[in-house]
Amino acid sequence: DAGVTQSPTHLIKTRGQQVTLRCSPKSGHDTVSWYQQALGQGPQFIFQYYEEEERQRGNFPDRFSGHQFPNYSSELNVNALLLGDSALYLCASSLGQSVPQHFGDGTRLSIL
C-alpha cells in the first residue's frame, strides 16, 4: 500500500526563480494538503485541494499556487522565490477532506 510520495526529495533554487513540487496521495485518498515547515518550527498550512479545486487557504501570498489532477495527485508552485521560502514542504493526504492526514517525507527546498 503506497503511502504519500513527494518529489523531488531535495531542491536548490536561487532568488526570483520558480519551483514546482509534486505529490501523489496515499492510495484511496482524494484530498491533498500542503504545509510549509521552516527549520525548528511546526508545519504551517498552505492550502488544500479536493475535487480539483482549492478548498481552503492559509496565510500565504499568491506566489504560492497549486493544482490537483484527476488522479488526485497535486502540484505546489512557488513563483518569485525568496530566501524565506527555504523550508521543508510537506504534502498530506486524506479521504473526503477528513482527518487525520497522512504525510509524505517532504521536499527540502533551499533558496540561495
Write down the least CB distance from residue 38 to other proteins, Å: 10
With contacts defined by CB under 8 A, name the span among 11-19, 32-40, 61-69, 75-83 that binds other proteins: 32-40
Q: Cα dihedral angle (98, 103, 104, 110), rounded to 10 degrees?
A: 110
Peptide bond into 8 cis (omega under 30): yes
Residues 35-94 contacting other proteins, CB under 8 A = 35, 40-45, 48, 55-56, 58, 90, 92
Query: Residues 8, 28, 105, 112: which binds other proteins (CB under 8 A)?
Result: 105
